[in-house]
Amino acid sequence: MGAGTLTTVGLAALLVAVALIARGGLQLGPLTTVEVGVDAGTGVLGAVAVLTPGAVRRPWGMATLGLMALLAILTAASITWSVDAGDSWVEANRTLSYVAVFAAGVALARVAPERWPSLVAATVLAGLTVSAYALATKVFPGALSPDEVYARLREPFGYWNAVGLMAALAAPGCLWLGSRRTGHAALNALAYPALGLLLVTILLAYSRGSLLALVIGCGVWFAAVPLRLRGVAVLATSAAGAVVACAWAFGQRGLSQDRVALAERSAAGHEFGLVLVAMVVVLLAAGLGIGFALAQRAPSPATRRRVGLAVLVCVSLVPVALVGALALSQRGLGGSVSKGWSDLTNPNASTPANTADRLTAVGSVRARYWHEALQIFKAHQVAGVGAGGYATVRPRYRQDTLDVRHAHGYIVQTLADLGLAGLAVSLALLAAWLAAAARTTGPWRGPRTGAFVPERVGMVTLAAVVVTFGVHSFVDWTWFVPGNAMLALLCAGWVAARGPLGAGVPAGVPLIARVRGGLRDRRLAPLAAAAVLVGLVGAWTAYQPQRSVDAGDSALTALEGKDLAKARAEADNARRINPLSVEPLYDRSAIELSAGRLPAARAALQAAINLQPSNPEPWQRLAEFELYSAGNPRAALNALGPALYLDPRSPSGQALFLEATRKTGATP
pLDDT at residue 49 greater than cutoff 90:
no
Burial zone of 50 (CB within 10 Å; 0-12 exposed, 13-18 middle, 19+ buried): buried
Question: Does residue 129 lie within any of the structural domains?
Answer: no
Three-state SS letters, 480-494: HCHHHHHHHHHHHHH
Rounded to 10 degrees, the C-alpha dihedral 619/624/625/626 comes to: 90
Between CA 56 and CA 531 the distance in angstroms is 15
pLDDT at residue 447 greater than cutoff 50:
no
Rounded to 10 degrees, the C-alpha dihedral 590/593/599/602 comes to: 30
pLDDT at residue 20 greater than cutoff 70:
yes
Contact by Cβ (8 Å): 494, 430: no
Task: Give the pLDDT band (50/70/90) at residue 363.
Answer: low
Backbone angles phi, psi at 628, to 5 degrees: -95, -35
Selection from 554, 551, 553, 555 nearest residue 543 by Cα: 551
Q: Which domain CATH number covers 604?
A: 1.25.40.10
What residues contact 358, with CB distance under 8 A and at least 6 apart? Answer: 206, 208, 352
DSSP 8-state assignment for residue 80: G
pLDDT at residue 289 greater than cutoff 80:
yes
Based on its alpha-carbon atoms, the radius of gyration of the chain, rounded to whole angstroms, reads 27
Between CA 511 and CA 508 the distance in angstroms is 9
Selection from 554, 559, 611 nearest residue 581 by Cα: 611
3-state percent breakdown (helix, strand, coil) of the chain, nearest 5 = 75, 0, 25
Contact by Cβ (8 Å): 528, 90: no
* CA dist list (Å): 629 to 279, 586, 609: 63, 14, 18
Domain of residue 644 covers: 582-664
DSSP 8-state assignment for residue 175: H
What pLDDT sits at residue 57?
56
Cβ count near 314 (within 10 Å): 11
What pLDDT sits at residue 650?
92
Question: Does residue 351 lie within any of the structural domains?
Answer: no
Contact by Cβ (8 Å): 484, 469: yes
Question: Does residue 616 lie within any of the structural domains?
Answer: yes
Cα angle 248-249-254, degrees, rounded to a multiple of 5: 130
Selection from 445, 410, 426 nearest residue 60 by Cα: 445
pLDDT at residue 333 greater than cutoff 70:
no
**What's the domain count of the chain?**
1
Question: Does residue 197 lie within any of the structural domains?
Answer: no
Between CA 457 and CA 319 the distance in angstroms is 29
Between CA 228 and CA 294 the distance in angstroms is 14
Least confident of 32-46, 149-163, 342-356: 342-356
Question: Does residue 98 lie within any of the structural domains?
Answer: no
pLDDT at residue 318 greater than cutoff 70:
no
Percent of the chain with pLDDT over 90: 70
- Give one DSSP letter per residue of 602-644, joined into a string: HHHHHHHHHH-TT-HHHHHHHHHIIIIIS--HHHHHHHHHHHH
Selection from 61, 106, 59 nearest residue 494 by Cα: 106
pLDDT (mean) for 651-663: 92
Question: Does residue 651 lie within any of the structural domains?
Answer: yes
Between CA 132 and CA 198 the distance in angstroms is 8
Between CA 335 and CA 326 the distance in angstroms is 9
Contact by Cβ (8 Å): 477, 408: yes
Selection from 363, 369, 361, 339 nearest residue 350 by Cα: 363
Angle between helical axes of 3-22 and 28-50 (0-180°, round to 10) = 150
Between CA 193 and CA 175 the distance in angstroms is 12
What pLDDT sits at residue 315?
60
What pLDDT sits at residue 327?
56
Sign (positive/negative) of CA torsion 102, 103, 104, 105? positive
Task: Give the pLDDT band (50/70/90) at residue 356.
Answer: confident
Sign (positive/negative) of CA torsion 611, 617, 623, 624? negative
What residues contact 279, with CB distance under 8 A and at least 6 apart? Answer: 193, 196, 197, 200, 241, 242, 244, 245
What pLDDT sits at residue 486?
97
- Give one DSSP letter per residue of 82-144, joined into a string: -SSHHHHHHHHHHHHHHHHHHHHHHHHHHH-GGGHHHHHHHHHHHHHHHHHHHHHHHHSHHHH
What pLDDT sits at residue 512?
58
Task: Give the pLDDT band (50/70/90) at residue 336.
Answer: very low
pLDDT at residue 359 greater than cutoff 50:
yes
What residues contact 303, with CB distance under 8 A and at least 6 apart? Answer: none
Between CA 132 and CA 495 the distance in angstroms is 28
pLDDT at residue 279 greater than cutoff 70:
yes
pLDDT at residue 61 greater than cutoff 50:
yes
What pLDDT sits at residue 319?
61
pLDDT at residue 54 greater than cutoff 80:
no
- Give the 3-state secondary structure of residue 384: coil
| pTM of the predicted model as reported, rounded to 2 decimal places | 0.91
What pLDDT sits at residue 112?
86
Contact by Cβ (8 Å): 491, 462: yes
Cα angle 12-13-15, degrees, rounded to a multiple of 5: 65
What pLDDT sits at residue 522?
65
What residues contact 409, with CB distance under 8 A and at least 6 apart? Answer: 366, 369, 370, 373, 473, 474, 475, 476, 477
- Give one DSSP letter per residue of 533-588, joined into a string: HHHHHHHHHHHHHHHHHHHHHHHHHHHHTT-HHHHHHHHHHHHHH-TT-SHHHHHH
* Per-residue pLDDT tens over the stretch 567-577: 999 999 999 99
pLDDT (mean) for 37-62: 82
* Per-residue pLDDT tens over the stretch 498-550: 988 765 544 455 555 555 555 556 677 788 889 999 999 999 999 999 999 99
Selection from 272, 275, 266, 213 nearest residue 241 by Cα: 275
Between CA 160 and CA 596 the distance in angstroms is 47
Question: Does residue 184 lie within any of the structural domains?
Answer: no
Per-chain mean pLDDT for the chain: 88
Question: Does residue 371 lie within any of the structural domains?
Answer: no
* Per-residue pLDDT tens over the stretch 146-203: 999 999 999 999 999 999 999 999 999 999 999 988 878 889 999 999 999 999 999 9
Specify the amino acid at residue 509.
V
Contact by Cβ (8 Å): 112, 511: yes
Between CA 436 and CA 58 the distance in angstroms is 13
